[in-house]
Amino acid sequence: VWNIETADSTDDVSWYTSIALDSSDYPHISYLDFANYDLKYAKWTGSIWNIETVDSSGYVGYCTSIALDSGDNPHISYLDFANYDLKYAYQTAAAGEEGDNIGVYRNGQWTLRNSKSLGPADYRFNFCNPTDIPVTGDWNGDGEDTIGVYINGQWILRDSNSPGAADYRFNYGNPTDKPVTGDWNGDGECTIGVYRNGQWILRNSNSAGAADYRFNFGNPTDKPVTGDWDGDGESTIGVYRNGQWILRDSNSAGSADYRFYYGNPTDIPVTGDWDDDGESTIGVYRKIYGQWILRDSNSAGSADYRFNYGIPTDKPVTGDWDGM
């Protein structure tokens, strides 16, 4: 059976093509844009084609040949027809911004971006149903955060940011619980938990079974948040209460280690290591505008990032999608 896709449909492309497959068997293609005499490069991410213009300096892009190195970075040789020169272009790392980045879940569709800014999605695909609750985490410890959902006590997780079958499917929690995820024991893998009327019920494995931690922290109407607030490699707990953040550096009952205001009562709290310094910090998604307002410190103050991405009905998600 032949599966046929259009990688680039702009005018007069696909001349002098060359293809290579990466370690995930995803295709990378170099080719000439004959309308503009540019060297172009297309890469399949697992859900969409990312297309870049590599060289636009004159009559370039003829007779391309592509190869990938051990890090799946492209190396392309080609002809500069104006000067009759052999040219070589290479990319040293995948395009993306360090630290955790952003995305939204919209009616079963994931729209993820490798930057904390307005712009096009780097990943766009469907996984699960419109009413599911999205969750994200590094389920297999490979350094990349991927997708999942929680629905009526069931977890459905996947080790790739792409459509496909679940890698983990199990029950843990009740239908009315609020799902939470984090690396509770610092082993490099993100696992599951639920917040139930002020009680945290956390597990060190992505499977059904008994809780490894069970304690009270917060009120029934609080919104649970998790992150590595102190950079020690372990995710711990917190709550968002009407614009107030109440965070703790231990997965146990006790007093807050951080307490401050940031955001409005109707905002949706988000957390991530925005500046890649090893510490998770705070932010809000202001759904009325689809606006992200993020801060590099667990304290009151002005935003370090403010941009629009999404619409009011979207559910915000965060993670390090490309492992950078």
**How does pLDDT run across 204-237, given as a tens digit for each residue?**
999 999 999 999 999 999 999 999 999 999 999 9
Report the alpha-carbon distance of residue 200 to residue 234 in Å, rounded.
Answer: 16
pLDDT score, position 47: 62
Average model confidence (pLDDT) across the chain: 94
Amino acid residing at 239: V
Same domain? 254 vs 205? yes
Domain hosting residue 164, numbered range:
101-319
CB atoms within 10 A of CB 195: 24
Same domain, 173 and 273: yes
Global confidence as pTM: 0.73
At 23-72, the pLDDT tens digits run 878 899 999 999 999 999 998 876 678 788 899 888 999 999 999 988 78
Question: Do the beta carbons of residue 269 and residue 263 sit within 8 Å?
Answer: yes
The beta strand positions in 38-141, using DSSP E, are 38-44, 49-55, 62-68, 74-80, 85-90, 101-106, 109-113, 123-126, 133-137
Distance CA 115, CA 117 (A): 6
pLDDT of residue 120: 85
Q: What is the C-alpha to C-alpha distance for residues 136 and 319, in angstroms, rounded to an integer?
A: 7
Do 163 and 53 belong to one domain? no
Sequence-distant (6+) residues with CB within 8 A of 70 are none
Is residue 95 in some structural domain? Answer: no
177 and 256 assigned to the same domain: yes
d(CA 1, CA 83): 43
Q: Please give the radius of gyration of the chain, using alpha carbons only, rounded to the nearest integer.
A: 22
Domain presence at residue 324: no
Contact 104, 122 (CB under 8 A): no
Domain count, the chain: 2
What pLDDT score does 176 carry? 97
- The neighbouring-strand residues paired with 15 are 32
Q: For 59-118, write each residue's pLDDT tens digit.
A: 999 999 999 988 788 999 999 999 999 999 997 644 556 899 999 999 999 999 999 998
DSSP state of 12: T
Does one domain contain both 212 and 67? no
Please name the residues in contact with 84: beta carbons below 8 A apart, sequence gap of 6 or more.
none
Higher pLDDT, 133 or 57: 133
